[in-house]
C-alpha cells in the first residue's frame, strides 16, 4: 500500500496524516494515521518529522500516556487513541494523505501525556524547568506566526536579563508571565533594529509596533499594554538609562491588526473573497468556501453552517431561516448561494490536466456538501487557512480572515447600520447568544448577569475600535 505525499504541503504540528510506521514487536507498524508532533520550525526545514501513532483499538484508555480522540469533533473516521509513549522519527517520504487537524485542546492533552511518558520532568530542577518554560513560550510565539529574532540559533528578548528581572518582580502568575514573555519576545526584532530598549522610545516610534504585535480583542490588548506600561514605569523607577514615558502615552492599539483581520461591509468581504477564491462563474467548489464566509458575516454560528440546507435559503425574502433563527442574505452573496443550492457538481481544475473535469456532489441538500465525503468543520478550517495564507504570500490580498473575525465583522456592520438609523447600540442579544451552550462557574457575589455585562462591555470596546480602525 502506498500514498503519494504532496511535496508542496509542509506538515504542521497537530495535523494527522496516513503514515508508514516502521515498528516491530509491540510497536505500531504499517500504514496508519499519525499526528505530527514536531515543532513547525523543524517541520519546515528538516527532511524528517516526529509523529505519534493513532489506533482505533482503544485499550487502556485510562493509561496516562494515552489520549482518546473522538471522531465527532476531530475529523477522524473512527474514535481513536494516540499512543504518546511511541513517538517515531520518520522521513517525510513516509507521509501519505492528509486527514485532519486536531484542536488545541487535544494537542494540550497529547503534549502532557508525552511528557509523562518520557519521565524527563523527574530529572529537572526549578531553574532548568524555568529555562525550558521560557524556550517553550518562544516556540509558541513562532507557531503563532510571530516573527522572532534569534541569537546563535536561540530565541531571545532584547535586554533579556532586565526583562526577566522585571517579570520576576512583577508577577508570580504563570499566565501573566507567559503573556509578558510573549510580548517582549515579539518586540525583540524592533528593539534590535533600534539598537535600544523599548523603554527608551517615543510614542511615535512605539505606536506602529504596538499595532502589529498586540492581540485583536480588547481584553488581550489591555493585558499586553498594561504589562508594557508597567515595565516602562519599573525601568524609570530603576533609573534605566534613557527610560522615558513614551509607552505611557499609548492609548489606541491594534488598529492595523483590525484592518488586516476584519471587514467593514458586504462589499468589503466580497472584495476579499474575489482575491482569494475562483470567481462564482467558474462553478468550482470555491463557491462553498464563499458561502462559508457569507454565513459567518450573516451571523450563523460555525457549528451550524454544515446543517444549513437549500430550503433554508429564501432568495425572495433575502434571508436564511433555520430553526428559530433568521439572518440576512446579502446581495453580494447571491451568486455563490445560487450555485451552492442549484449545482449538482463542481468543476475540478488540475494543473496537469488541460481539460476541466466536473465532479458530482455527494447526495443531500445541505449547502456545504462537497464532492467526496461529508464535510467537517476542521477540514474547512484547514483548507481556508492554507488558501488565505497562500493568497497573502502571493500578494493577492493584504488580509487573512477567520470565520470568527468575519462573524464579528458582520455583527459590527449591522450594529453600525442601526446606529446610523438612530437606534441605540445594544450588544445584549449578542452576549446572550455568546453565553448560550456554555457552562459558567459562579462564585461569591458574581452572578450570570455580571458575566453578561462584561461580555457586552467587551463587544462595545471592540466595536468602537472597529469603527476607529476603518475611520467610521
Q: At which residue does the C-alpha cell 450563523 appear?
A: 300
Question: What cell does 62 get?
Answer: 485510562
Give the residue from 25, 28, 11 showing the smallest Cα distance to 95: 11
pLDDT score of 3: 42
* Mean per-residue pLDDT, 16-37: 81
20 vs 139: which has the higher pLDDT: 20
Q: How many helices (H) and strands (E) does the chain have?
A: 16, 14
Check pLDDT > 60 for residue 115: yes
pLDDT score of 340: 96
By CB neighbour count within 10 A (0-12 exposed, 13-18 middle, 19+ buried), where does 403 fall? buried
Check pLDDT > 90 for residue 244: yes
Band (pLDDT 50/70/90 cuts) for residue 330 is very high
Q: What is the C-alpha separation between 13 and 402, in angstroms, rounded?
A: 19
360-389 tens-digit pLDDT: 999 999 999 988 776 788 889 888 988 998
pLDDT score of 15: 93
Question: What cell does 101 get?
Answer: 487537524
Band (pLDDT 50/70/90 cuts) for residue 153 is very low
Q: At which residue does the C-alpha cell 497537530 appear?
A: 14
pLDDT score of 6: 46
Q: Does an H or E element contain 259, and which?
A: helix 255-261
* Mean per-residue pLDDT, 68-74: 89
Contact between 209 and 187 (Cβ < 8 Å) = yes
Check pLDDT > 50 for residue 357: yes
Query: How far are the Cα atoms of 19, 45, 109, 182, 429 from residue 79, in angstroms, in the given order?
Result: 18, 32, 16, 35, 37
Q: At which residue does the C-alpha cell 453600525 appear?
A: 416
Check pLDDT > 50 for residue 28: yes
Check pLDDT > 60 for residue 154: no
Band (pLDDT 50/70/90 cuts) for residue 441 is low
Question: What cell does 295 get?
Answer: 454565513
Check pLDDT > 80 for residue 230: yes
* Mean per-residue pLDDT, 293-303: 96
pLDDT score of 433: 85
Q: CB neighbours of 373 closer than 8 A, spacing ≥ 6?
A: 362
166-189 tens-digit pLDDT: 988 888 777 778 888 888 988 888
Give the CATH class of 15-120: mainly beta
pLDDT score of 145: 39
Band (pLDDT 50/70/90 cuts) for residue 141 is very low
Helices (H), 28-103: 40-45
Contact between 46 and 53 (Cβ < 8 Å) = no
Q: What is the C-alpha separation between 112 and 104, in angstroms, rounded?
A: 12
pLDDT score of 125: 56
Band (pLDDT 50/70/90 cuts) for residue 68 is very high
By CB neighbour count within 10 A (0-12 exposed, 13-18 middle, 19+ buried), where does 13 fall? buried
247 vs 256: which has the higher pLDDT: 247
Band (pLDDT 50/70/90 cuts) for residue 81 is very high
Helices (H), 286-426: 286-298, 302-305, 334-342, 377-393, 403-420
Question: What cell does 179 get?
Answer: 503573556
Check pLDDT > 80 for residue 214: no
- Of 91-95, 311-315, 467-471, the range with the highest mean pLDDT is 311-315
* Mean per-residue pLDDT, 37-50: 86
396-433 tens-digit pLDDT: 999 999 999 999 999 999 999 999 899 999 999 988 88
Q: What is the C-alpha separation between 31 and 229, in angstroms, rounded?
A: 53
* Mean per-residue pLDDT, 344-358: 78
pLDDT score of 144: 40
- What ranges do the domains of the chain cover? 15-120, 126-253, 267-378
How many percent of the chain have pLDDT more than 70?
Answer: 82
Contact between 456 and 434 (Cβ < 8 Å) = no
* Mean per-residue pLDDT, 148-159: 53
Q: Does an H or E element contain 193, and which?
A: helix 174-194
pLDDT score of 22: 79
- Residue 395 has φ and ψ, to the nearest 5°, of 80, 10
Q: CB neighbours of 221 closer than 8 A, spacing ≥ 6?
A: 214, 215, 253, 254
* Mean per-residue pLDDT, 290-306: 96
- Of 212-216, 217-221, 246-250, 431-435, the range with the highest mean pLDDT is 246-250
Check pLDDT > 60 for residue 446: no
Band (pLDDT 50/70/90 cuts) for residue 164 is confident
How high is the mean pLDDT of the chain? 84
pLDDT score of 353: 64
Q: Which of 24-38, 43-57, 193-207, 394-408 has the lowest mean pLDDT?
A: 24-38
How many percent of the chain have pLDDT more than 90?
Answer: 43
> b/e per residue, 300-320, with b = 16+ CB within 10 A?
bebeebbebeeebbeeeeeeb
Contact between 322 and 306 (Cβ < 8 Å) = no
Amino acid at each position: 500500500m502506498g500514498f503519494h505525499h504532496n511535496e508542496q504541503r509542509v506538515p504542521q504540528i497537530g495535523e494527522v496524516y496516513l503514515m508508514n510506521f516502521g515498528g516491530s514487536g509491540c510497536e505500531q507498524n504499517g500504514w496508519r494515521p499519525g499526528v505530527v508532533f514536531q515543532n513547525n520550525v523543524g517541520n519546515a526545514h528538516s527532511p524528517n518529522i516526529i509523529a505519534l501513532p493513532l489506533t482505533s483499538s482503544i485499550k487502556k484508555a485510562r493509561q496516562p500516556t494515552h489520549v482518546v480522540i473522538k471522531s465527532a469533533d476531530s475529523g477522524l473516521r473512527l474514535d481513536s487513541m494516540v499512543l504518546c509513549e511511541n513517538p517515531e522519527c520518520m522521513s517525510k517520504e513516509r507521509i501519505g494523505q492528509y486527514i485532519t487537524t486536531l484542536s488545541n485542546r487535544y494537542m494540550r492533552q497529547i503534549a502532557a501525556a508525552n511528557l509523562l511518558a518520557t519521565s524527563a520532568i523527574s530529572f529537572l530542577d526549578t531553574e532548568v524547568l524555568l529555562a525550558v518554560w521560557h524556550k517553550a513560550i518562544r516556540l509558541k510565539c513562532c507557531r503563532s506566526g510571530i516573527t522572532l529574532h534569534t541569537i546563535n540559533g536561540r530565541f531571545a528578548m532584547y535586554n533579556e536579563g532586565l526583562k526577566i528581572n522585571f517579570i520576576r518582580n512583577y508577577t508570580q502568575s504563570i499566565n501573566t508571565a507567559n503573556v509578558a514573555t510573549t510580548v517582549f519576545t515579539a518586540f525583540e526584532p524592533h528593539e534590535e533594529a533600534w539598537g535600544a530598549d523599548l523603554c527608551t522610545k517615543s510614542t511615535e516610534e512605539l505606536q506602529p509596533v504596538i499595532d502589529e504585535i498586540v492581540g485583536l480583542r480588547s481584553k488581550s490588548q489591555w493585558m499586553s499594554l498594561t504589562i508594557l506600561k508597567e515595565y516602562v514605569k519599573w525601568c524609570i523607577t530603576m533609573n534605566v538609562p534613557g527610560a522615558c514615558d513614551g509607552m505611557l502615552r499609548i492609548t489606541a492599539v491594534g488598529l492595523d491588526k483590525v484592518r488586516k483581520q476584519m471587514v467593514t461591509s458586504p462589499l468589503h468581504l466580497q472584495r476579499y473573497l474575489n482575491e482569494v477564491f475562483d470567481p462564482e462563474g467558474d462553478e468550482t467548489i470555491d463557491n462553498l468556501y464563499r458561502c462559508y464566509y457569507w454565513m459567518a458575516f450573516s451571523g450563523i454560528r460555525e457549528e451550524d453552517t454544515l446543517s444549513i440546507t437549500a430550503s433554508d435559503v429564501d432568495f425572495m425574502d433575502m434571508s436564511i431561516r433555520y430553526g428559530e433563527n433568521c439572518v440576512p442574505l446579502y446581495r453580494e452573496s447571491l451568486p455563490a448561494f445560487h450555485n451552492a443550492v442549484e449545482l449538482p457538481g463542481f468543476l475540478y481544475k488540475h494543473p496537469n490536466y488541460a481539460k476541466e473535469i466536473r465532479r458530482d456532489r455527494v447526495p443531500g441538500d445541505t449547502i456545504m456538501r462537497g464532492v467526496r465525503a461529508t464535510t467537517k468543520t476542521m477540514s474547512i478550517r484547514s483548507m481556508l487557512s492554507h488558501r488565505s495564507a497562500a493568497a497573502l504570500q502571493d500578494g493577492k490580498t493584504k488580509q487573512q480572515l477567520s470565520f470568527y473575525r468575519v462573524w464579528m465583522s458582520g455583527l459590527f456592520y449591522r450594529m453600525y447600520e442601526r446606529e446610523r438609523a438612530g437606534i441605540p447600540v445594544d450588544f445584549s442579544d449578542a452576549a446572550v447568544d455568546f453565553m448560550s451552550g456554555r457552562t459558567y462557574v459562579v462564585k461569591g457575589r458574581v452572578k450570570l448577569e455580571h458575566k453578561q455585562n462584561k461580555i457586552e462591555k467587551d463587544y462595545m470596546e471592540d466595536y468602537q475600535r472597529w469603527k476607529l480602525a476603518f475611520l467610521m
